[in-house]
């Protein structure tokens, strides 16, 4: 059976917040009985854009991560809800019933993604409902997907086997696989948010001038084992990405034609720019 899935491409999110505004526009002051109570004007971000800076000048980047209800198939919020206040629809969407969930603040704490917001005035837990009310009214995708100009949010409806192929083809990942919640939201280029890099620049002196070295061979090793290799670009820059934060000591071995080999040791916590390495 076809079910809804959301694909979020971290590399394409520009933090424009249009999806956030569309969600507010849809829900502030609007009750959708059976789906969601009205969102308060202030304090709620059912679509929440987090950010992460990596590296240091001149090699740095920033990533934006939209976090929203993951519509988990193995949802901890459902386990903590009483009186059937949370249900999973046949199309995969999780709905917190705005009437049955009244007073059930424990649902907020049960969500490991911090995707549930407490409505103090109505005394109900609330989360992004995948615009189920619009989809049931004939919409082809939720508003967040329709307004995202960069394609950072895509909604697809397909059976789980077909989506498993999409996951493999596009290299999609769960935000927190360690939670074991089987989310229906999957992320692309997640390394931009949760992994780190080692980068640097190679330069050489000739005839009194210092120039970038293009095509230098750079090898990254850890505990004597080769992790990866690359070549410097036209600016002499190199970068090894998708490394684990706080993963310890690494060595960069740099070989540039016509120059003596050079090694640099790096201890990796957050992303590191190893500086300009003179060969």
Contact residues toward ligand SF4 (CB under 6 A) are: 13-19, 49, 64, 66, 69-72, 75-77, 94, 111, 113, 115-116, 127, 147-148, 150, 152-153, 181
CB of 165 to ligand SF4, least distance (A): 24
Residues listed for the chain: 279
Closest CB to ligand SF4 among residues 111, 274? 111
State the residue for tokens 């569309």: 22
Report whether 148 contacts 15 (CB < 8 A): no
Report whether 65 contacts 81 (CB < 8 A): no
CB of 90 to ligand SF4, least distance (A): 15
Closest CB to ligand SF4 among residues 18, 212? 18
Q: Tokens representing 20?
A: 């956030």
Smallest CA-to-CA distance from 266 within 251, 277, 253 is with 251
Angle at 149 between CA 3 and CA 28, to 5 degrees: 70
CB of 68 to ligand SF4, least distance (A): 8
Closest CB to ligand SF4 among residues 76, 247? 76
CB of 235 to ligand SF4, least distance (A): 28
Q: What is the DSSP string of 197-264?
A: EEEEEEEEEETTEEEE-TT-EEEEEETTEEEEEEE--TTSEEEEEEEPTT-EEEEEEEE-TTS--EEE
For residues 113-141, b (16+ Cβ closer than 10 Å) or e, as one string? bebbbbbeebebbbbbbbbbbbbeeeeeb
Closest CB to ligand SF4 among residues 77, 196? 77
Closest CB to ligand SF4 among residues 59, 77? 77
CB of 103 to ligand SF4, least distance (A): 17
Q: Tokens representing 23?
A: 């969600």
Backbone φ and ψ of 201, nearest 5°:
-135, 145
Closest CB to ligand SF4 among residues 70, 201? 70
Closest CB to ligand SF4 among residues 64, 273? 64
CB of 124 to ligand SF4, least distance (A): 13
CB of 273 to ligand SF4, least distance (A): 26
């Amino acid at each position: 059976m076809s079910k809804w899935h959301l694909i979020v491409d971290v590399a394409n999110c520009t933090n424009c917040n249009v999806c956030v505004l569309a969600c507010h526009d849809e829900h502030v002051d609007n009750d959708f009985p059976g789906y969601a109570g009205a969102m308060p004007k202030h304090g709620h971000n059912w679509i929440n854009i987090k950010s992460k800076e990596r590296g240091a000048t001149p090699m740095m980047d920033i990533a934006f991560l939209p976090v929203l209800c993951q519509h988990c198939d193995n949802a901890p919020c459902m386990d903590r809800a009483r009186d059937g206040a949370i249900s999973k629809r046949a199309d995969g969407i999780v709905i917190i019933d705005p009437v049955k969930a009244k007073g059930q603040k424990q649902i907020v704490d049960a969500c490991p993604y911090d995707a549930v917001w407490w409505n103090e005035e109505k005394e109900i837990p609330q989360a992004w409902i995948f615009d189920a009310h619009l989809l049931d009214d004939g919409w082809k995708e939720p508003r967040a997907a329709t307004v995202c100009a960069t394609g950072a949010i895509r909604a697809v409806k397909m059976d789980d086997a077909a989506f498993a192929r999409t996951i493999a083809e596009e290299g999609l990942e769960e935000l927190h696989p360690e939670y074991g919640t089987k989310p229906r939201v999957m992320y692309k280029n997640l390394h931009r948010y949760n992994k780190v890099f080692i980068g640097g620049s190679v330069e050489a002196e000739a005839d009194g001038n210092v120039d970038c070295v293009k095509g230098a061979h750079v090898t990254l090793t850890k505990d004597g084992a080769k992790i990866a290799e690359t070549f410097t670009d036209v600016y002499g820059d190199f970068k090894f990405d998708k490394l684990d934060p706080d993963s310890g000591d690494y060595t960069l071995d740099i070989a540039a034609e016509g120059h003596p080999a050079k090694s640099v040791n790096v201890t990796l916590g957050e992303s590191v720019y190893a500086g300009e390495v003179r060969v």
